[in-house]
């Protein structure tokens, strides 16, 4: 309650963050209300190659239709659902893995750290795109596998951030005090150290979230996204690529959707990066 009010108050003083927050909020609302807002079914063909503003059976095709005649606005709205669900799922999973590994590496140091850091460095040494193609062509493109691929690719980066912060925090006196009162390693990592990572991790999560959205778009574009006919922003761009010059609206609409959502998260991250160090 008071926390919500404090965040809203903070946003008022930071217009950049407020714009980001508004963009993010817009797409979340679009995803939630897609069944209500969408004028058509996202997978039913209507009139192929309709320009924006055309009519279909008395209803307006605000953003036109794609090559198969499906309403682009409806596909965008439903596409927001899948992109947000998978981006949130992948980010949460990547954080669960990365934070756990980072805490362990930073707190235990020694051999644990050597092994985990080496594994992370191996993953980070692959060009990201090659890594995705490798993983998804091996285990096949599906929603769950996208989650796994994104987790494998982002967890090492998260781990390194968490590891660095943990190394610094474990040397603080309050950690020594916790040891002296008999607290174990798990308690110290999760209760004493983790809450202090909140500030930097919230900022990192916003940036990473945007990055994951781009990744999901790219995977769709490469044909490694959600299998058709699911409305997927990256796939929409891919399908319209060959007619992009004649019908720019088909590629422009999903491209703007991806950019605005990513921009929203990036601005939010900038705004949350409080100059006073308070997350």
Partner 1 sequence: MPDTPPLLEVRDLCVRYGRRRRAVEALRNVSFTVGAGERVGVVGESGSGKSTLALALLRALGAAGSVTGGAMRFRGADISAMPGGALRTLRSSGIGLVQQEPMAALNPAMTIGRQLREVPGLARATAEIVERRIQAMLTEVRLDDPARILAAYPHMLSGGQLQRVCLAMVLLGEPSLLILDEPTTALDSRTSAAIVALIRDMADRHGIALLLISHDLDLIGALTQQALVMRAGEVVDRGTAQEILAGGSHPYTAGLVRSMEAGSSAPPPAGRPHTDGAPLVRFSGIAKSYPLSGRWGSGAGRVAALHGLDLDIAPGETLALVGESGSGKSTLGRILAGLDRADDGAVVFDGKEIGATPVDRRPRDLRLDIQMVFQDPDGSLNPSLGIGRQLSRALASRGAAGDANATADLLESVHLPAAFASRYPRELSGGQKQRVAIARAFATRPRIVVADEPVSALDASLRRDVLDLLRRLQRAHGTALLLISHDLKLVRWFADRVAVLREGVIVECGPVARVLGSPEHAYTRALVDAVVAGGPAGIQFPARAPIF
CA separation for the pair 59, 154 (Å, rounded): 43
- Which residue, chain included where needed, has tokens 């980010």? 91
Among 41, 54, 142, 179, binds partner 1 (CB under 8 A): 179
User: Contacting partner 1 (CB under 8 A), which of 60, 96, 177, 190?
Assistant: 177
Q: Total binding residues for partner 1 by CB under 8 A?
A: 17
Query: Please, what is the minimum distance in Å from the beta carbon of residue 198 to partner 1?
Result: 7
Residue 232: count of CB within 10 angstroms of its CB: 26
For residues 167 and 108, is the Cβ–Cβ distance under 8 A?
Answer: no
Q: Does 122 bind partner 1 (CB under 8 A)?
A: no
Q: What is the footprint of partner 1 within residues 191-220 (CB under 8 A)? A: 191-192, 195-196, 198
Among residues 52, 151, 135, 55, the alpha carbon closest in space to that of 101 is found at 151
Long-range CB pairs of 234-240, under 8 A, 24+ apart, other chains included = 234/258, 236/66, 236/72, 236/75, 236/76, 236/79, 239/66, 239/67, 239/68, 240/66, 240/67
Comparing CB distances to partner 1, the nearer of 36 and 181 is: 181
SS3 label, residue 59: strand
Say how many Å lie between the first and final Cα of the chain, rounded. Answer: 18
CB of 192 to partner 1, least distance (A): 6
Residues 6+ apart with CB under 8 A from 122: none
The verdict on 112 binding partner 1 (CB under 8 A) reads: no
The reply on whether position 173 binds partner 1 by CB under 8 A is yes
Residue 183 touching partner 1 (CB under 8 A):
yes
Please report how close the Cβ of residue 14 comes to partner 1 at its closest, in angstroms: 16
Q: Give least dist CB 195 to partner 1, A.
A: 4
Q: Does 181 bind partner 1 (CB under 8 A)?
A: yes
Whether the CB-CB separation of 72 and 249 falls below 8 Å is answered with yes
The yes or no reply on residue 182 touching partner 1 (CB under 8 A) is yes
- Check binding of 176 to partner 1 (CB under 8 A): yes
Could you tell me if 246 and 163 are in contact, meaning their C-beta atoms sit under 8 angstroms apart? no
Q: Least distance in Å: CB of 194 to partner 1?
A: 9
**SS3 state of residue 274:** coil
Tell me whether residue 57 or residue 184 sits nearer to partner 1 (CB atom).
184
Residues that bind partner 1 (CB under 8 A): 172-174, 176-183, 185, 191-192, 195-196, 198
């Amino acid at each position: 309650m008071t926390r919500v009010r404090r965040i809203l108050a903070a946003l008022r003083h930071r217009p950049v963050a407020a714009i980001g927050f508004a963009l993010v909020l817009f797409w979340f609302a679009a995803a939630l209300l897609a069944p209500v807002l969408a004028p058509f079914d996202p997978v039913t063909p209507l009139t192929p190659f309709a320009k924006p503003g055309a009519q279909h059976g008395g209803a307006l095709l605000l953003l036109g239709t794609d090559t198969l005649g499906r309403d682009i606005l409806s596909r965008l709205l439903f596409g927001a659902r899948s992109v947000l669900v998978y981006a949130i799922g992948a980010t949460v999973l990547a954080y669960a893995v990365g934070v756990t590994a980072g805490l362990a590496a930073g707190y235990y140091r020694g051999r644990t750290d050597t092994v985990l850091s080496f594994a992370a460095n191996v993953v980070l040494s692959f060009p990201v795109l090659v890594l995705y193609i490798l993983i998804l062509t091996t285990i096949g493109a599906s929603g769950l596998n996208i989650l796994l691929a994104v987790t494998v690719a982002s967890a090492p980066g998260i781990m390194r951030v968490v590891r660095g912060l943990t190394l610094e925090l474990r040397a603080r006196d309050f950690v020594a005090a916790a040891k002296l009162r008999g607290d174990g390693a798990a308690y110290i990592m999760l209760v004493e150290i983790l809450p202090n990572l909140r500030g930097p991790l919230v900022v990192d999560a916003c940036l990473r979230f945007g990055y994951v959205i781009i990744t999901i778009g790219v995977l769709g574009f490469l044909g490694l996204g959600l299998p058709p006919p699911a409305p997927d922003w990256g796939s929409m761009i891919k399908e319209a690529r060959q007619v992009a010059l004649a019908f720019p609206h088909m590629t422009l609409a999903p491209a703007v959707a991806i950019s605005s959502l990513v921009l929203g998260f990036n601005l939010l991250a900038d705004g949350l990066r409080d100059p006073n160090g308070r997350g």
